[in-house]
Structure 1
């Protein structure tokens, strides 16, 4: 179960990929980068949410 400690960082990787995708689409005339930026923002939010949730669970396990 040690791998669950590192999985939130995958959200940062996904965010970086979608930000790159948004910058590539920004140069195209017919493409819209808004969806890529939205997904990147959601991935960053999920990273911070998972980290906060993991800390809460860790503190709960220390008390028991």
Structure 2
């Protein structure tokens, strides 16, 4: 279960990639960066959610 500590950081890498994609599409007339911004925001949310979940799991394992 050691991988649970490191998987949230994959979400940050994914968010950075989607924010970069949205930044590059920002001024292009035929491209819409909204979906990239949405997915990037979701990845940031998942980073904090998974980190909190891993901490709860760790605390639960310490109690038992």
Mapped partners of 1:19, 1:31: distance in 2: 14
Mapped partners of 2:4, 2:53: distance in 1: 12
Question: 2:3 aligned with 1:32, yes or no?
Answer: no
Mapped partners of 1:29, 1:7: distance in 2: 36
Mapped partners of 1:61, 1:48: distance in 2: 20
Question: 2:21 aligned with 1:18, yes or no?
Answer: no
Structure 2: gaps spanning 5 or more residues? none
**Runs of 4+ more than 3 Å apart:** none
TM-score, normalising length: structure 2: 0.95
Give the length in aligned residue pairs. 64
Tell me by how many angstroms 1:41 deviates. Answer: 0.3
Aligned-pair Cα RMSD in Å: 0.7
Structure 1: gaps spanning 5 or more residues? none
Tell me by how many angstroms 1:2 deviates. Answer: 1.7
